[in-house]
Amino acid sequence: MQSLEKKDFSSALNEKEGFHVWWRLLRPHTLTASFIPVFVGTMLAINQESLHFLLFLAMLLASILIQAATNMFNEYYDFKRGLDNEQSVGIGGTIVRDGIAPQTVLTLALSFFGVAMLLGVYICSETNWWLALIGIVCMLCGYLYTGGPVPIAYTPFGEVFAGFFMGAMIIVISYFIQTNETPSEVWLVSIPISIFIGTILLSNNIRDLEGDKINGRKTLAILFGHDNAVRLLAGSFITSYVITLLLILLGLLPIWSLISFLSGKKAIDAVQAFKGKKTNIEMMPGMKATAQTNTIYGFLLGISLLLHLIIPFSF
């Protein structure tokens, strides 16, 4: 009976066997949170007529590997602490539903970190060795999100850490390795994407609010409560778009960047998908729409920077 229930739950989540087991472990819907900042940072650098394609690829792959490894640490440590079970949603389910050994997941995560470090050595050798220290701090935060004695995920600061290290830091590093500069303008342009990345985690915590509360977490969603957390999500979206508009008006982003507002429909969908919902599965579309908002916004923002290079246009 138990195995039948597990199979029925996996079917409800549209989970497949074989290669898909390992693909789900990566939590692919979250990986654009590492791709978008590298893309935007590089597009900003291209506008300064600077592009080292191999450095771009190395940075992109390293960021994706660190994000994937962080997801695996999440899977491993949430299982070890008893947070995940066969009915948990929003996880790969590799351990609790697919029967993969926890040690295998941990080993794979550490292996991804190892490859990312090798890529980091290449990036540092071509640019600046101070980046090694920054890279180690970023990786450490990825590990400490759910690992360590006081996981960041158990505190109200998860969104801030995710937004800063996965958003601002990656954008600035991606720009720096191409130009050897870190102007204040790049930090300012990184703010909306940092907020969007924070919303991905916020939406995840809204979905998992009840389970997290039982297990002693103190996330923003728990502190605010469901309805207020959804309002915070909406306010975060609005803030990102307002800052984007200000950056355009100040000339820090090209007028082409107005196309990034086309992602607003997904932001509205995300907020609506959380309103009045009670169960984890009911809120999965809201989580998906939030991640898509970041993806569409970031992709369109990067394209707008490329368009500005091809067809310069300003007020």
Mind listing the pLDDT tens digit for each residue in 248-271? 999 999 999 999 999 999 999 999
**Burial class of 173 by CB neighbour count within 10 A (0 to 12, 13 to 18, 19+):** buried
Q: Does residue 294 form part of some domain?
A: yes
Q: Residue 26 burial by CB count (10 A; 0-12/13-18/19+): exposed, middle or buried?
A: buried
How much is the pLDDT for 156?
93
State the chain's mean pLDDT as an integer: 88
Residue 247 placed within a domain = yes
Q: Has residue 174 got a pLDDT over 60?
A: yes
Distances 159 to 70, 141, 236, 239 between C-alpha atoms, Å: 15, 12, 11, 15
Q: Report pLDDT for 1.
A: 39
Residue 158's pLDDT band (cuts 50, 70, 90): very high
In a domain, residue 107? The reply is: yes
Domain of 97 in residue numbering reads as 34-308
Residue 233 domain flag: yes
130 Cβ contact partners less than 8 Å away, ≥ 6 residues apart = none
In a domain, 259, yes or no: yes
CATH number of the domain where residue 117 is located: 1.10.600
What's the domain count of the chain? 1
Tokens standing for residue 108: 């794979």
User: What pLDDT, in 10s, does the model give residues 195-207?
Assistant: 999 999 999 999 9
pLDDT tens digits, 95-147: 777 778 889 999 999 999 999 999 999 999 999 999 999 999 999 998 998 88
Cα gap 230→239, rounded to integer Å: 14
The predicted model gives 6-32 an average pLDDT of 65
Max alpha carbon distance in the chain (Å)? 67
Give the lowest-confidence range in 112-116, 147-151, 310-314: 310-314
Percent of residues in the chain assigned helix, strand, coil, to nearest 5: 75, 0, 25
CB-based contact 51:98 (threshold 8 Å):
no
In a domain, 116, yes or no: yes
In a domain, 174, yes or no: yes
Sign of the C-alpha dihedral, residues 259, 260, 261, 262? Answer: positive
The answer to the question of residue 145 being in a domain is: yes
